[in-house]
Amino acid sequence: MYTNKQIWSVSYPILLSLLAQNVINVTDTAFLGRVSEVALGGSAMGGLFYICVFTIAFGFSTGSQIVIARRNGEGRYTDVGPVMIQGAFFLLAMALLMFGFTQAFGGNIMRLLVSSENIFNATMEFLDWRIYGFFFSFFNVMFRALYIGITRTKVLTINAVVMALTNVILDYALIFGHFGLPEMGIKGAAIASVIAEAVSTLFFLIYTYITVNLRKYGLNHLRSFDPALLMRILSISCFTMLQYFLAMATWFLFFVAVERLGQRQLAIANIVRSIYIVMLIPVNSLSTTANSLVSNAIGAGGINQVTRLIKKIARFSFFIMLVLVTFTALFPQAMLSIYTNETALITESVPSLYVICIAMLIASVANVVFNGVSGTGNTQAALMLETITIVFYGSYIIFIGIWLKAPVEWCFTIEILYYVLLLLTSYIYFKKAKWQNKRI
């Protein structure tokens, strides 16, 4: 059974890496919030489109991570590298495909979804540059899968700090035109993010070559295309790819609904979303840890430890979130002032922030339990649970956001419903399903 110290030793580097990575989101939102509401809205819509596509790669890497963790738990270390290498080549091909698709059809898709001409133009200005990041971010997630799968997560922190510092400096320089560079506004934010991701790729390559025992993990030579291995990875990953895409697509639907309420409502949603994502960092790090440790435990023959392990991590997650929610609820204006200095915008954002605080308490447990489902290797079941939840999510946001046109704080109540349903369905899975003998 993993101790709290062992859980934390895996979790805290992931937490720090996610924190550093989300500096990109925070700085983009904070800087563009001081440019204009149109720039803020355009980056929100363009950024969400980018993330929707990126989650396909992230879903593949999560499935790969489950396989790597299982092999690591079984002591089959030389089988780790081939999974990493085949996955990296597959995702580079996927990046090229998604880049071409977005170049050809991205404008048409956004034209259907965005009602404001100003927001549309800003979104396309952002996306025209941002999509070059596919080639780097798709590659980077396989390094993340490797290091989480073998529980060497400290490198993720270092990498994310390097990436975040690069992005902050370039955001400041390119958005506002400092250090002799041109003032580029929203375009500058997109270029800064792409360069930061490229720096991240370079760091991973150098660090892995210098510090990892390449022979031990089967990374010491490139292998020819292995369709049988790729299909084994995809048998796990295809469900997580679809699962993550559906989750982000419904989040995108949320912003489509809010965008129709007006520029101010979209600006509120983007600011609150940024705080929401930052608050989710400890939950996501512990959820990722649950995924990896559950898979490692099963690989090492510790099936009987799984539910106790999930409960321990979920309890850990809840108490951390309780502290964060208490601070946020007591000082909402201080949190919101990071993103804008407009008093009216801060005041109007407070109700939405309170709603998110309630949702986060439920999310702190729901995400851990749900990632435990994926950690068992039964990603098909995880997809089914996510799909059930998303059907309710999509129906609710269409009703309350698009049909009723309710205020943005009422739209955010969908997050409470989402996490309640996710927790309930995941709990039923562990109680009723036959998950103990899933082979991967």
Nearest alpha-carbon partner for 103 in 131, 122, 125: 131
User: Model's pTM, two decimal places?
Assistant: 0.75
Burial of residue 439, with CB atoms counted within 10 A of its CB: 0-12 exposed, 13-18 middle, 19 or more buried: exposed
Q: Return the pLDDT at 434.
A: 66
Gap between the Cα atoms of 80 and 61, Å rounded: 13
Q: Return the pLDDT at 339.
A: 76
Burial of residue 98, with CB atoms counted within 10 A of its CB: 0-12 exposed, 13-18 middle, 19 or more buried: buried
The pLDDT of 269-281, averaged and rounded, is 84
pLDDT bin (cut points 50, 70, 90) of residue 25 is low
Gap between the Cα atoms of 386 and 423, Å rounded: 10
pLDDT bin (cut points 50, 70, 90) of residue 264 is confident
Q: Which residues touch 372 (CB under 8 Å, ≥6 apart)?
A: 290, 291, 294, 306, 309, 310, 426, 430
Q: Which residues touch 135 (CB under 8 Å, ≥6 apart)?
A: 92, 95, 96, 99
* Angle ∠(294,56,44) on CA atoms, nearest 5: 110
Identify the DSSP state of 305.
Answer: G
Largest Cα separation within the chain, whole Å, is: 63
pLDDT bin (cut points 50, 70, 90) of residue 433 is low
The least confident of 190-194, 336-340, 388-392 is 336-340
* Tens-digit pLDDT profile for residues 315-359: 989 999 999 999 999 999 888 887 777 888 889 999 999 999 999
Q: Return the pLDDT at 192.
A: 93
Q: What is the DSSP string of 388-401?
A: HHHHHHHHHHIIII
Q: Return the pLDDT at 135.
A: 95
Region of 185 please: left (phi>0), alpha (psi -120 to 50) or beta. Answer: left
Nearest alpha-carbon partner for 352 in 377, 335, 368, 376: 335
Reply yes or no on whether the pLDDT at 42 is more than 70.
yes
Calculate what percentage of the chain has a pLDDT beyond 90. Answer: 25
Burial of residue 400, with CB atoms counted within 10 A of its CB: 0-12 exposed, 13-18 middle, 19 or more buried: middle
Gap between the Cα atoms of 47 and 54, Å rounded: 10
Reply yes or no on whether the pLDDT at 91 is more than 90.
yes
Nearest alpha-carbon partner for 102 in 142, 51, 66: 51
Amino acid at 87: G
Amino acid at 330: L
Q: Kindly give the residue spans of alpha helices, DSSP state H, lying in 131-185.
A: 134-149, 154-176
Q: Which residues touch 195 (CB under 8 Å, ≥6 apart)?
A: 166, 167, 170
The number of residues making up the chain comes to 440
Nearest alpha-carbon partner for 374 in 291, 284, 287: 291
pLDDT bin (cut points 50, 70, 90) of residue 212 is confident
SS3 342: coil
Calculate what percentage of the chain has a pLDDT beyond 70. Answer: 91
Q: Return the pLDDT at 80.
A: 84
Gap between the Cα atoms of 178 and 86, Å rounded: 42
The pLDDT of 268-288, averaged and rounded, is 84
The pLDDT of 17-28, averaged and rounded, is 66
Task: Encode 200-232 in three state secondary structure.
Answer: HHHHHHHHHHHHCCCCCCCCCCCCCCCHHHHHH
The answer to whether 234 and 374 have CB atoms below 8 angstroms apart is no
Please give the helix or strand (H or E) that residue 331 lies within, else none: none
Reply yes or no on whether the pLDDT at 211 is more than 70.
yes
The pLDDT of 95-110, averaged and rounded, is 92
- C-alpha count within 13 angstroms, C-beta hemisphere, residue 71: 25
Where along the chain do its domains lie?
4-432
Return mean pLDDT, the chain.
84
